[in-house]
Structure 1
Amino acid sequence: MTFAGFPDEGLVFYEGLEADNSRTYWTAHKSEYEAFVRGPLQALVDDLAPEFGPAKVFRPYRDVRFSHDKTPYKTHQGAVVNPEGRGAGAWYVQISADGLAVSGGCWRLESDQVARYRRAVADAVQGAALEKEVARLRSAGWTVDGDRLVRVPAGFSADDDRIELLKHRSLHVTRRWEPADWLHAAAAGERVREAWRDVAPLNTWLAANVGATAKEPRPRR
């Protein structure tokens, strides 16, 4: 299946799910989810795989075991590319009733990765490179986000260069587009491709300076 855009029926499906997040709605409209949401997204990431690598398409079901929100279904469909061996630096794409979102960077780092990240940020060369790249992305319309400390991290001073970057415990950037005619055509795939290329330098910096964790994987609860 070649990606030909995200049909409007997929956005309508999510509008309905937002209004009625129930098994009854899901069962009655599951075929629409498969045809107009999951199918096109899978086709998109398959088209992008030769350049960026294979993607994981997330399950539509929410993990409600430890959440006060017990609604069973996600109101968006996402997929992530996390190339093996990089450790940090991934690409993400998401479709919902609100439109299209693309992201890049890292969403969760272990303590050893955070330590390497901060050492690199404090380094004159690597820190300046990241600062320049983050500024470039922000000026290009990306929102810069991530888990951040409120206080100055231990071992650093509030007067340190790049203190705001040093506060990060994860770092990712996002661009969003509201629904428009181009979303329903193959042009949407090229927009994702161009956005992922735009964030590739950030991912390269993270892979080179943060890398994979040495910690054992967390046991599943």
Structure 2
Amino acid sequence: MTGAFNGWTEQAFDVLLRLEGDPPRQLRESLRKERELHVRQPMIALLNDVADAVPALDDFSVWGFRKESWWWQHQGAVIRIARQVEIGLRFDLDGLHLKAGWHYPDPGQVPRYRAAVVAESSGARLAALTGSLGARGYGLTGDLMKRMPSGLPADHPRARLLRHRSLLAAAPPAGDDVALTPAAVDQVVDAAEELAPLLSWLSHHVAASARAHA
């Protein structure tokens, strides 16, 4: 277990700068230890501190090293909330990014999602939640069909939501000024609190099983 999160250091940005472009395997391997120390370990420390603050967010994974350059240039992590419902984090030269929602759906999840969007009570609730997040600067993304699903009217009041085959809300970028300080812990905790109603809706209506999430 790593120590308390104190922010990513300038060395983290220096390592990532050296990994820009299409770095050869020899360069990547020469930077493996530095990247582990300055880039990956702080992400582990961050999520340990987040889990200490909010125990419901303790089921997380921090990605290791892979063959493709992208994975060396971006440090990813995920906090699992329910089946295919997650909070995703990424640290790179642009700072710390956070998004959350439902993606890579299992068979049966898309029909459950559509049924919940069509239902007046649950559908109106989701529309209100996504509208509120959008007003607070969250970007709503996901796998969006070009046309309405078969059998649903094009003028449905929640037509855009019905076209989603995944649904994610991306927090406004925190920037490197936050990533360089312990304030990133509060930033993640605050975003998780704002996203909790959406994650709860997705866990209840879409996921096959859910973890309790306050």
The two structures have a TM-score, normalised by structure 1, of 0.86
**CA RMSD between the two structures:** 1.7
- 5 Å-filtered alignment, 1:24-173, equals 24-50=26-52, 51=54, 52-62=57-67, 71=69, 73-83=71-81, 86-173=82-169
Give SS of 2:19's match: helix
Distance in 1, Cα, partners of 2:196 & 2:59: 16
Q: Deviations over 1:93-148 (max 9, x none)?
A: 11001111001101211331000000000010000000000011111111100001
Q: Which amino acid aligns with 1:45?
A: L
CA contact (8 A) 1:81 1:92 kept: yes
Distance in 2, Cα, partners of 1:188 & 1:178: 8
Aligned to 1:218: none
Aligned to 2:212: none
CA contact (8 A) 2:94 2:176 kept: no
Establish whether residue 192 from structure 1 lines up as the match of residue 188 from structure 2.
yes
- 5 Å-filtered alignment, 1:203-214, equals 203-212=199-208
Distance in 2, Cα, partners of 1:41 & 1:55: 11
Give the Å deviation of 1:72: 7.2
Give the Å deviation of 1:176: 4.2
Give SS of 2:108's match: helix
Distance in 2, Cα, partners of 1:58 & 1:145: 22
The two structures have a TM-score, normalised by structure 2, of 0.89
Distance in 1, Cα, partners of 2:115 & 2:208: 15
Give the Å deviation of 1:163: 0.4
CA contact (8 A) 1:57 1:79 kept: yes
Aligned to 2:21: 19
Give the Å deviation of 1:6: 1.3
Aligned to 1:7: 9
Distance in 2, Cα, partners of 1:155 & 1:125: 20
Instruction: Count the aligned residue pairs.
Output: 204
Aligned to 1:177: 173
Identity among equivalent positions (%) equals 31
CA contact (8 A) 1:22 1:72 kept: no
Unaligned runs of 5+ in 2: 210-214
